[in-house]
């Protein structure tokens, strides 16, 4: 899929790309062109991807990417068809390469193209409050409501029968039908991804988007960050309470209920029919199965299998937690 929010500056000759990103060309790659950067799952045979942890070895084995930035001790998990670019710091290297393909993805400036909705074609199609701004190439379906002081930035797609509250900002996002986004939400801003540096921290480019599927509700003051290379996804019929934070690359399943002030670090996966109590936290790069219940205030730092109830910090089996806290 062509990214509707960020312009791809590629393709690049692989040799020149490595020079631009100041990466040593140890394998003397020369002729091939690389058309895009993608994650292990979505990469095509014209793309470059990355592989930095054994946790993703099963995905690495199946990748179709022509090139992969990786560590020396991980090359064994990649298919022979994938050429290996071996570096010491995979994520920092990918930040440099991604910035070459998408030079504007680092900056999150406001959308200068946005104008008052009363001056657009939506003035007769949408019910709206005061001071609503709409960017270029926005698409909005039938029977939608937009509250006061809300900004919907360029290229955003909103389905039919949606309700967008007041003081909401939406960018880099696709919203499907029958979705409610309540007051004060910010959806689609860049994630909290950077490399500490004493002079100036180095930001990781975020070229992914947010996808909110059908029949969802996003509670007041909630924030959903767009993905870095992959997308941040909210499954069908999932409800977020107020002040929930979904970090970059998270995949939230269908029919989930997430109570107030729950926070997700990046790149975790939540199955279907998951219930999470208020003020719980989920660490990054975890897999939480389907039909899981997580008690309020819990800290999830390990994967949780299907059909499990957990509570506490670190989160443990509910029966064990109750037994140890009588």
CA–CA separation, 281 and 243 (whole Å): 13
Sort residue 99 into left (φ over 0), alpha (ψ -120 to 50) or beta. Answer: alpha
DSSP 67-99: EEEE-GGGGGGS-TTSEEEE-S-HHHHHHHHHH
Catalytically active residues, by annotation: 248
Identify which of 277, 120, 287, 99 has the alpha carbon closest to the alpha carbon of residue 194: 99
Q: How far is CA 306 from CA 98, 232, 283, 324, in A?
A: 35, 22, 18, 23
Q: How far apart are CA 230 and CA 316, in angstroms?
A: 30
Whether 150 contacts 203, CB under 8 Å: no
Find, among 88, 94, 41, 85, the residue nearest to 65 by Cα.
41
**∠ Cα 135 140 143 (to 5°):** 140
């Amino acid at each position: 899929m062509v990214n509707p929010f960020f312009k791809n500056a590629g393709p690049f000759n692989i040799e020149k790309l490595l020079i631009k990103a100041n990466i040593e060309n140890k394998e003397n790659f020369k002729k091939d062109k690389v058309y895009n950067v993608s994650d292990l799952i979505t990469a095509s045979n014209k793309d470059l991807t990355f592989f930095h942890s054994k946790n993703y070895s099963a995905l690495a084995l199946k990748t179709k990417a022509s090139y992969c930035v990786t560590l020396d001790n991980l090359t064994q998990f990649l298919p022979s068809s994938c050429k290996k670019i071996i570096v010491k710091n995979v994520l920092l290297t990918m930040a440099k390469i991604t910035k070459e393909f998408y030079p504007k993805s680092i900056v999150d400036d406001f959308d200068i193209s946005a104008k008052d909705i009363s001056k657009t074609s939506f003035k007769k199609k949408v019910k709206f409050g005061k001071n609503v701004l709409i960017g270029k190439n926005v698409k909005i379906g039938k029977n939608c409501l937009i509250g006061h002081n809300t900004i919907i930035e360029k290229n955003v797609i909103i389905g039919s029968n949606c309700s967008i509250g007041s003081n909401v900002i939406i960018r880099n996002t696709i919203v499907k039908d029958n979705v409610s986004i309540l007051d004060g939400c910010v959806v689609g801003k860049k994630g909290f991804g950077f490399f500490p540096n004493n002079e100036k921290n180095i930001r990781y480019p975020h070229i992914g988007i947010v996808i909110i599927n059908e029949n969802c509700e996003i509670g007041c003051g909630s924030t959903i960050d767009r993905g870095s290379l992959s997308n941040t996804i909210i499954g069908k019929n999932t409800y977020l309470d107020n002040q929930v934070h979904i970090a970059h690359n998270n995949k939230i399943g269908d029919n989930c209920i997430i109570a107030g002030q729950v926070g997700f670090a990046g790149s975790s996966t939540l199955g279907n029919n998951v219930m999470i109590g208020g003020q719980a936290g989920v660490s990054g790069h975890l897999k939480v199965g389907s039909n899981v219940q997580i008690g309020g205030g819990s800290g999830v730092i390990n994967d949780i299998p299907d059909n499990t109830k957990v509570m506490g910090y670190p989160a443990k089996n509910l029966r064990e937690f109750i037994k140890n806290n009588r």
